[in-house]
Structure 1
Amino acid sequence: MADGLLNKKVAFIIQARMQSTRLPGKILLPLPLGSGKPLLSWIIDEVKKSKHTAEIIIATSVNPENDVLVSFCEQNNVGYFRGEEDDVLSRFTAIAKSGDYDCIVRLTADNPIIDISILDDTITEHFSKANDYTSTAGLPTGMNFEVISTATLLDLENYSLTATDREHVTLFVRSSGKYSLGVFTPAINPLLKTLRLTVDYPSDYALLSSILAQSVLDENQKGIKLVAQTFHLYPWLFETNASNFQKGNYATLAEELAHVKPILEQYEFKKVLSLLDSKTPQN
């Protein structure tokens, strides 16, 4: 890795809040079950290992339920910022303005398995290709990253964005056609792409608890190596959460329907499918 790229300043912004419909307080739950290590700590500990010059900031909201998250940050000497609950983009923008950052890495607090080597390679790819935005592809759900140049993030202030754009932070960058987009695809077993490694449902927590228990026993088992080994030894384990629904960020109605229809087909909602098929989706 070129020294010049290492000297560029990166902000790892971890989007976090305590509110969760399906699994309240999940980001501070002990992981694995019975351990004293909160889910959020897995993310923080791994990004601290980055080779890039970086700062870690937890981006949360001013809602009172997040006071306990702020206490966690203060007790663990982790930077944090509190902003609006629904306007997540405004949190990222405020953080971007607070430091001399060359790029922002967007992470979410419900994705505890970080492969720091792949993350560092993605950042390097972003800088070397001079992209406005770079994302990963081919990794399990919950292991992909987004890297956005600070100038690009701040440029969003020049546009009239929708509430959805502001909630999902990078949606306008990805869908507007105004920015240069790059994709970094690490070489891994393609079967791993279908796995779900985010924590949203209790069954997700059970799976991640089982996987990370192995990392507690062997600290050399991290990131995609840990996932690949677990998949090789215990492929049946990933059936635990295979049927869980993962909501995406959709730019059009057609994209949303394309995601929803297979789920309706799985549960044989034939009348709803018939109604959808009789309509022409509007963008």
Structure 2
Amino acid sequence: MADKVVIIVQARMASSRLPGKVMMPLLGKTLLARMVERLLIIRHRATVVIATSVNLEDDVIVEEAKRLSIPYYRGSLDNVLDRHYQAARLFEADVVLKIPSDCPLIDPRIVDDVLDYFFNNRGKYDYVSNLHPATHPDGNDVEIMTMACLQKAWDGATRPLELEHTTPYIWENPELFRIGNLEWQTGLNYSMSHRFTIDYPEDYQFIKRVFEELYRTRDNFSCQDILDLLQRKPEIYEINAQYAGVNWYRNHLNELKTIAAEQTRQAPLQTV
């Protein structure tokens, strides 16, 4: 029997920099809906689940999941590792994909590439990602783990950053887990230079512009389509270029033993 693959999209309304970002509009639908739309066209057979919190402010995400006919799970707001684990258990996953909801430009082909790598090396790895080290443009984050791996992390993780970010306990402990990584086949590394994720208002303007430029002629546009667009119209790249390389690692460099300072960048100072 084939492994049951469950893609867990973590989503919440709370955000210190851009509250409610997952429900912002993109061509008549929400950002969350557009992202789910892209995940549903991957080649591999998988169940997409939205994992949100029990907080009342996230009722709107549950209603969106119902509108999209996508199953959902509600759990802890801050212990996202537990949220992933309980959702994976509820939907009887054998293989779990962690995809954050701030990646609405994620390329379905990249998801398939990482799944191919995982299944082509069946039994060799507990955890496979395209993030350690990262080479794809930021916002194409794919992390895959066996259910046994996720449970081991759930059993062992105790530090706040491990609970908040789900997988650091895994990739920070290579002596406990068999870890694989898929680098971008182009041989390029755009992880610190190209930002396709959303955390700031400028990110939203960038993503909105990309959808407006590409979606109407090709609804399943690829990472390469976006890069080609940025070559033709560099002014779009500049919309959020100041945040390229800014990620959550920057706040935990003193706690992460496998992450170097050159893998993150401090956010530019905001002017009033």
The TM-score with structure 1 as length reference comes to 0.83
Q: Which residue of 2 aligns with 1:188?
A: 186
Q: Which residue of 1 aligns with 2:172?
A: 175
Q: Which runs of 5+ in 2 are unaligned?
A: none
Aligned residues: 258
Alignment of 1:13-52 (within 5 A): 13-31=8-26, 35-52=27-44
- Please say if 1:79 is aligned against 2:77: no
Give CA-to-partner distance per residue, 1:106-143, whole Å, 9 cap, x none: 11111101211221121121122231111113111111
Distance of 1:8 and 1:260 partners within structure 2:
33
Output the amino acid matched with 1:21.
Answer: S
CA drift at 1:158: 3.3
Q: Which residue of 2 aligns with 1:140?
A: 137
State the 4+ residue runs in structure 1 displaced beyond 3 angstroms: 249-257, 259-264
- RMSD (CA atoms): 2.5
Alignment of 1:83-162 (within 5 A): 83-129=75-121, 130-136=124-130, 137-162=134-159
Q: Which residue of 2 aligns with 1:258?
A: 261
CA drift at 1:85: 0.7
CA drift at 1:229: 1.5
- Please say if 1:238 is aligned against 2:230: no
Output the amino acid matched with 1:183.
Answer: N
Higher-Rg structure is 1
Note closer, same or farther for the CA distance 1:251–1:176 as it changes in structure 2 (3 Å cut): farther
CA drift at 1:221: 5.7
Distance of 2:53 and 2:223 partners within structure 1:
31
Give CA-to-partner distance per residue, 1:147-182, whole Å, 9 cap, x none: 111110012243252122111100000001210111
Q: Which runs of 5+ in 1 are unaligned?
A: 268-283
CA drift at 1:75: 1.7
Structure 1 SS opposite 2:119: helix
Q: Which residue of 2 aligns with 1:272?
A: none
Higher helix share: 1
Note closer, same or farther for the CA distance 1:104–1:257 as it changes in structure 2 (3 Å cut): closer
Q: Which residue of 2 aligns with 1:247?
A: 248
CA drift at 1:17: 0.1
Q: Work out the percentage of aligned pairs sharing the same amino acid.
A: 28
Note closer, same or farther for the CA distance 1:254–1:179 as it changes in structure 2 (3 Å cut): closer
Note closer, same or farther for the CA distance 1:50–1:164 as it changes in structure 2 (3 Å cut): same
Note closer, same or farther for the CA distance 1:14–1:160 as it changes in structure 2 (3 Å cut): closer
